[in-house]
Amino acid sequence: MDIPNEWGLRIGGTEQFRSNTFEVANPATDERLSTVADASAEDATRAIETASTAFETWSEWDASERGRLLSRISERIRDDVDAIATLETLEVGRPLDHSRQRVEAAASFFEYYAGLADKIEGDTIDVPGDRLNYTIREPLGVTGHIIPWNSPILLGSRSIAPALVCGNTVVAKPSPEAPMTILRLAAICEEAGLPAGTINVVPDADAAAGKAITSDSRVAGVSFTGSPDGGKHVMKSAAEHVSHVDLELGGNTPCVVFPDADIEKVASEVVDCYHNAGQICYTISRFFVHGEVYSEFADALVQEIEALAIGPWTEEPDVGPVISAESQRRIDQYVTEAEENGARILAGGTVPRETGHFYEPTLVDGVSDSDSIVCDELFGPVKTLHEFSDEAEVVRRANDTVYGLYAVVYTKDIDRAHRLAGAMEAGAVAVNEFPLVFVQTPFGGYKESGIGRTKGRHAIENFTQVKNVTIGLE
């Protein structure tokens, strides 16, 4: 695929180039892909001004018209699925089929919110006296979107689509590791008929534009997906002018396997935790397996792991590289430290290639629940295996983390399934299947995994404010 040699910012419906640029590299080869304009704080301010002006007209569009436009955006994304998937694969490194799935999901977000456009409704409330009382949901205004590198087309669409359908305008700041897909998405939106200035994209290399977005009082809402530390900075900055924030932060997902589970089936499903080289916020990090089936499960999962092919997307692998040399080094350091402290490497544990940022899908046991390899979000293809003996014990240990984004349980006992679903301190629980995520269901975290809910109808709450009206009737 031929991609542009240089990408500009997108402000007010035009591509704007800058003398300051940064390079985007292919993590599978470390070769340069393209050069991208490096937005300054002043560029972000101009984007906010443009979005503020565009809001005056976009917010007045009839809701059904906004819905029809989002439908056109969805169609154009599907028409361009192969090109978008290839672009994201080049900058993120994952297998092409996996990127196609994410592009389809992005189209589904625009499609879903297109259908919801004329169903963003208020309520009529019974109050004392001869009065009429009702609520209205109104857009916030300019919204900022800080988008991570691990799945930009999906995660960008997840917040941009509901923001637009509610009548807000968008200033998006993609990650410097993977900005090109979001720049392409903005162009697609405009090609579909989105008015100039309604969506603006300001990639940066040093967070200058991102800081300008979160600190500007004209930005009425910020949607952030990223690290807990990054989310806390966003929250502090937005608090200065009391802007709404929704945050999806880190995860450390437990998967609990009881002895009545079909072990071969479980192993064949949960090996998907190595998709995207484990760089998915909700993917499984810690396996808790009952002692009666511990060895059987370990053997079955190791067999599945060893069958995974690793390599660049051109080789049609199962697992691609991690995003950077720094990420590769950090992951290897965790594994080395664990092994030095007595852990067993059941699978993987090495760098398989000299070229690119690859790390073998790895499974480690013999670690303590308090070890850093267990407690920290590794964001890579390294998972830990733990043995447990009873339900109360595993609930306590699974919840012993600062994160609470997702949890997985395998059991044929329906009573136990409901007990565990209620006991897990997580915003989403999947029972007897992994992964389970849907466009129409709410997603978000407990504890330090975030604030607010994305997806489904719940996302509308992130991008609207409620006005209450009381009319005295004579």
Q: Which two tokens stand for residue 405?
A: 């984004």
Query: Looking at the 3D structure of the chain, how many domains does it have?
Result: 2
From 177, 248, 269, 425, the catalytic residue: 248
Q: What is the pLDDT of residues 171-210, one digit of tens each?
A: 999 999 999 999 999 999 999 999 999 999 999 999 999 9
pLDDT above 90 for 474 = no
pLDDT above 90 for 322 = yes
Q: Report the SS3 class of residue 397.
A: helix
pLDDT above 80 for 353 = yes
From 281, 360, 375, 425, the catalytic residue: 281
Q: What is the pLDDT of residues 224-236, one digit of tens each?
A: 999 999 999 999 9
Q: Alpha helices of 424-472 — where are they, by DSSP H?
A: none
Domain range spanning residue 334? Answer: 253-439
447 phi/psi in degrees, rounded to 5: 50, -135
In this structure, which amino acid lies at residue 11? I
Whether 190 and 132 map to the same domain: the answer is yes
What local confidence, expressed as pLDDT, does residue 40 receive?
A: 98
Tell me, yes or no, whether 104 lies in a domain. yes
| CATH code, 210 | 3.40.605.10
pLDDT above 80 for 1 = no
Whether 155 and 298 map to the same domain: the answer is no
Mean pLDDT of 121-140: 97
Contact 187, 11 (CB under 8 A): no
Tell me, yes or no, whether 393 lies in a domain. yes
Tell me whether residue 248 is one of the annotated catalytic residues.
yes
Q: What is the pLDDT of residues 40-78, one digit of tens each?
A: 999 999 999 999 999 999 999 999 999 999 999 999 999
Q: Which two tokens stand for residue 293?
A: 């089936």
Whether 96 and 165 map to the same domain: the answer is yes
Whether 186 and 220 map to the same domain: the answer is yes
DSSP, res 177: T
Tell me whether residue 433 is one of the annotated catalytic residues.
no
Whether 234 and 87 map to the same domain: the answer is yes
Q: What is the pLDDT of residues 355-389, one digit of tens each?
A: 999 999 999 999 999 999 999 999 999 999 999 99
Residues 6+ apart with CB under 8 A from 434: 255, 269, 270, 272, 273, 284, 408
Largest CA distance in the chain: 81
Whether 270 and 245 map to the same domain: the answer is no
Task: Extract the runs of DSSP E, i.e. beta strands, from 28-127.
Answer: 32-37, 124-125
Tell me, yes or no, whether 1 lies in a domain. no
| CATH code, 425 | 3.40.309.10
Q: What is the pLDDT of residues 132-182, one digit of tens each?
A: 999 999 999 999 999 999 999 999 999 999 999 999 999 999 999 999 999
How confident is the prediction for the chain on average, in pLDDT? Answer: 97
Please report which confidence band the pLDDT of residue 2 belongs to, taking 50, 70 and 90 as the band edges.
Answer: confident
Please report which confidence band the pLDDT of residue 111 belongs to, taking 50, 70 and 90 as the band edges.
Answer: very high
Four-residue CA torsion sign, 208, 110, 227, 176: negative
What local confidence, expressed as pLDDT, does residue 179 receive?
A: 98
Whole-model pTM: value is 0.97
pLDDT above 90 for 459 = yes
Q: Which two tokens stand for residue 223?
A: 């949607």
Residue recorded with tokens 């295996």: 385
Q: What is the pLDDT of residues 405-442, one digit of tens each?
A: 999 999 999 999 999 999 999 999 999 999 989 999 99
Contact 122, 466 (CB under 8 A): yes
Please report which confidence band the pLDDT of residue 267 belongs to, taking 50, 70 and 90 as the band edges.
Answer: very high
Cα–Cα distance, 254 to 284 (Å, whole number):
6
Please report which confidence band the pLDDT of residue 295 belongs to, taking 50, 70 and 90 as the band edges.
Answer: very high
Q: Which two tokens stand for residue 18?
A: 């800058």
Strand ranges across the sheet with 9-11: 14-16, 9-11, 199-201, 169-174, 142-147, 219-225, 244-248, 450-451
Mean pLDDT of 89-113: 98
